[in-house]
Every structure is written in structure tokens, then in C-alpha cells.
Amino acid sequence: MVNYYKVLKVSPKATNVEIKSAYRRLARKLHPDVNNNVEDAAREFAKIAKAYEILGNPKERANYDRQLLKAKYASDNNSSVFSSENAHAKRWRQMAYERRYNEIIDRMIADERRETLALQKVIFPTVALFVSTFFVAIFKPLFWTNLQIIGKIILLSLFVAGLVHLISRLRSGFERYTYRDENLHESILEEAEPVTKPYPRFTAICFLIFGVFVSLGVGLLIGNYLDLLIGATMPTLFSHSLKPEFIFYPPIVVLFVDLMHNFVSRFDN
């Protein structure tokens, strides 16, 4: 059985980042374009491409590790050390197999957890932005108008912190999950990361803008129907029309939602 870890020259405990880095390094070295299409180089390049196809996918890697583990112990059982039918030897082999199998599962779970957390760091702020825009459009709160100078300073500070945080989260999401269309045809020989990201950057930007405007529009539509009720109940707290101060509130909501999510995530881990 081909050992793809040896093909990529990495440890069986290597992380996904280390595997990707090893593949890119070997690919630039063995790519047929830099070896004048020499047959041996092309053959080696095909090997590392296959190795990365398996090891670069967490589920495929887990299945491969199980097969590799079975092959290893099947081979070991043919040697004098591991061929013993002694009950203690059998028990030791079973424990070793289970320990290695548990390592495979634990690594796969850890990889999935990291990917889930990374995705949540994009989804939670985005959803919070849409939902907060929606409710601000409905109620049109006048917090800024009713605050004294100290309160306005605090609100402005929270807005700046929330805006910086939102931009940071969105930028991380774009870098992790989107690609630029002009990068599609870059050669693997370049230092740039090969395109393995799921969404075009232009599409993601359009989705974000569209989501904000839809949330704003639907909120205004509902707010118009509730305007008399809201205005009559608390006329000093809510406006009948959009005001510039409304831009303050969605980033602040995003900041607090993300802080709460990070706090809860610590207990989940």
C-alpha cells in the first residue's frame, strides 16, 4: 500500500496546513513545466497530486489512515514479534490498534471543530448585521439623540470598536472562503495559494450588500405598518423616519453578539 505521508514527506500527525505546504513545495519542484515534461518528473508529480487529494481532505484522510493502520498491523502480524497468539500479545495489539484509531478520530474531530469555529466567526457577525439592520429599520431608535455627552462618547466608542471588529471578521471570511476571479488561472508554480475556496469574492460582496439592503427594506416596510403604534407608545425613543445615527447600531450589535458567541464557545471547548 502506498504511503502518501512518505510521498509528501510529512508526519502522519501533520496538520492540514503542513500537508498543504508540503504539497505546494513539492509541486513547484516536480511540476512538468519546470522539468521539460520529463516522464519521471511527471510520474512523481502525479503521485504527490494523488497524495494531496487524499490527505488534503479530512474525511478521505481518516479513511486512508484506517486502511494504512490495518495494513500495518497485518504486516506486523507476519513477524515473529507480532505473530504470537498469546492472550497478552493479542490484547496489546488490540490496544495499540484502538489507540491509533482513536488518534485518527480525534484529529478528524479537531479539524472539523476548527473549521466549524472559523465558519461561525463569519456566519454569526453576518447574520447579526442583517438582523440588527432589520430591527433598526423597524423601530428607528433614538438612543444617540437622547444621550448626554458621556453617553454619546461611549456609544461612539462602541460603534468604532464594532465597525473595526465587523470589518476584521468580514475580511477574514473573504480570505478564507472566497477567491478572486483573476487568480483562477494562476499556475501552481507561483507562490499564490491554489484555488480551493468555495465562492468568488465578487459574489460574496454582492450577497453582503444585497442582504443589508433587503434587511433594511423589509424592516422599513414592516416599520411603516407599526409606525403609529410605536410612535404613540414611546414617541421620544423612536423616530418616524431614518436618521444618520441609525448607522451606529448594527456594528455595536455585531460586536456584542460576537463577544457572547466567543464567551459561550470557551465553555463548549
Q: Indicate if 174 and 215 belong to the same structural domain.
A: yes
The pLDDT of residue 238: 81
Residues whose CB is less than 8 angstroms from the CB of residue 42 and which lie 6 or more positions away in sequence, other chains included: 32, 35
Mean pLDDT of the chain: 81
The pLDDT of residue 182: 53
The pLDDT of residue 97: 65
Q: Indicate if 182 and 239 belong to the same structural domain.
A: yes
H/E element, 144: helix 143-146
Q: Indicate if 137 and 26 belong to the same structural domain.
A: no
Q: In which residue ranges of the chain is pLDDT below 70?
A: 37, 73-90, 92-94, 96-97, 100-101, 104, 181-196, 228-235, 268-269
Residues whose CB is less than 8 angstroms from the CB of residue 9 and which lie 6 or more positions away in sequence, other chains included: 22, 26
Q: Indicate if 211 and 139 belong to the same structural domain.
A: yes
Q: Indicate if 34 and 143 belong to the same structural domain.
A: no
| Domain CATH for 61 | 1.10.287.110
The pLDDT of residue 253: 95
Provide the Cα torsion 242, 248, 251, 252; round to 10°: -120
Q: Indicate if 146 and 263 belong to the same structural domain.
A: yes
Quote the CA–CA distance of 177 and 172 in Å, as a whole number: 8
224: which 3 cell numbers?
411603516
Whether the CB-CB separation of 126 and 218 falls below 8 Å is answered with no
Quote the CA–CA distance of 52 and 34 in Å, as a whole number: 20
Tally the residues of the chain: 269
**What long-range pairs does 33-37 form, CB within 8 A, spacing at least 24?**
33/187, 33/189, 34/189
CA 123 to chain centre: 9
Quote the CA–CA distance of 140 and 137 in Å, as a whole number: 5
Q: Which of 176, 182, 172 is nearest to 196 (CA)?
A: 176
Q: What is the pLDDT of residues 105-133, one digit of tens each?
A: 777 777 778 888 888 999 999 999 999 99
Q: Which residue has the cell 497524495?
A: 51
> Domain ends where: 106, 135, 151?
106
> Domain ends where: 106, 123, 153?
106
The pLDDT of residue 84: 55
Sign for the pseudo-dihedral over CA of 242, 224, 207, 159: positive
Quote the CA–CA distance of 3 and 54 in Å, as a whole number: 11
> Domain ends where: 60, 81, 106?
106
Q: Indicate if 74 and 120 belong to the same structural domain.
A: no
Residues whose CB is less than 8 angstroms from the CB of residue 152 and which lie 6 or more positions away in sequence, other chains included: 144
- Domain hosting 29: range is 4-106
Whether the CB-CB separation of 130 and 211 falls below 8 Å is answered with yes
